[in-house]
Amino acid sequence: MALKPTEPSCWDIELFLSQNKKMFDHRYANVGKRVMLHKQIEVVPPSVSLENEDVINWDKVLPCLEKIIRTAYKSEDKITDISYKELLERIVHHYHHESTIEHVAVFTFRIVCDRGISHELVRHRIASFTQESTRYVNYGKKGGKVVFPVHLLQAPKEEIEYWYRGCQQEFLLYHNALEELKWTPQQARGFLPHFAKTEVIMTMNFRSLRNLFKLRKNKAAHPDMQIIANEILMVVKEKIDIIFKDIK
C-alpha cells in the first residue's frame, strides 16, 4: 500500500494496521528467571481530535474577532452579518496582520503520537501543553503501545517485524526494571522507545497554528509530524476555514 510523501494521512495508517493485525501478534514467553510481558505491544495510528468541540460557540468566533479588529480603526459602524469575511480576508491574507487573530478562540487538541514527535510538538510557541507522564503512568500495568511510523507503510514485512520486535525488547527492559529491580516508572522510563505512544493536549491560538502549519507541513518536516499537522489542519478548517484557507 503506497502513501504519497506529500500527502501523509493517518487514515491510510489505520487501514494498513487493520489489514495487518496478525503481523503484530507476537507474544513473549517465559525464559529463565526473566519477567516477560504477558501481552503483545499494541500498535496504534497517530490521531488528532478536537478536545474543546462543545465549549466554544464557533459561529460567534469570527464576528467577535471582527469587532476586536475594528477597534483599531473605530469602524464598528460598518459591521454587518457578513462583514467579517471581507475584513478578515484583508487583514489576514492581504496585510498579514496576524497579531490581531491572537485575541479570540483557541483550539484544544488531543494528539496521539510517538514520544519522539511529541518532543518536536512541545517546542511550539505560543501554546499550552499537557502530556501523558512517563513519571506517573506505569506501562507495566497499563500495557505498552507504539505508534506506527509512516515510513514503514511501504516497507516489506520483514522490516516491519524488525521494528516491532525492537519495540518489544525495549518494553521488556522497562518491564523487567519495574518487576525485578523494583524501579519506579520515572526511574525505568529511560528504557521506553521513542516509538512509544503518548497523548498530548495542545492549546493554540490562530496565529500559532498558522506558524505550526508553516513549519510542520513543510517537506523538510518529519513525515510523522506532517501527518499530525495535516490532521490538525483538517480539524481547524472545518471550524474556521477563512483564517486557514491559504494553507493547503
Q: Would you please indicate which residues are annotated as catalytic (active-site) residues?
A: 216
Task: Give the C-alpha separation, 13 to 228, whole Å.
Answer: 12
Residue 205 per-residue DSSP state: -
Three cell numbers, residue 50:
478536537
Single out the residue of 79, 54, 80 nearest to residue 69, CA to CA: 79
Nearest-angstrom CA–CA distance, 229 and 9: 10
Instruction: Single out the residue of 51, 52, 92 nearest to residue 69, CA to CA.
Output: 92
* Cross-strand bridge partners of residue 146: 43, 196
Q: What share of the chain is helix, strand, coil (3-state, %, to 5)?
A: 50, 15, 40
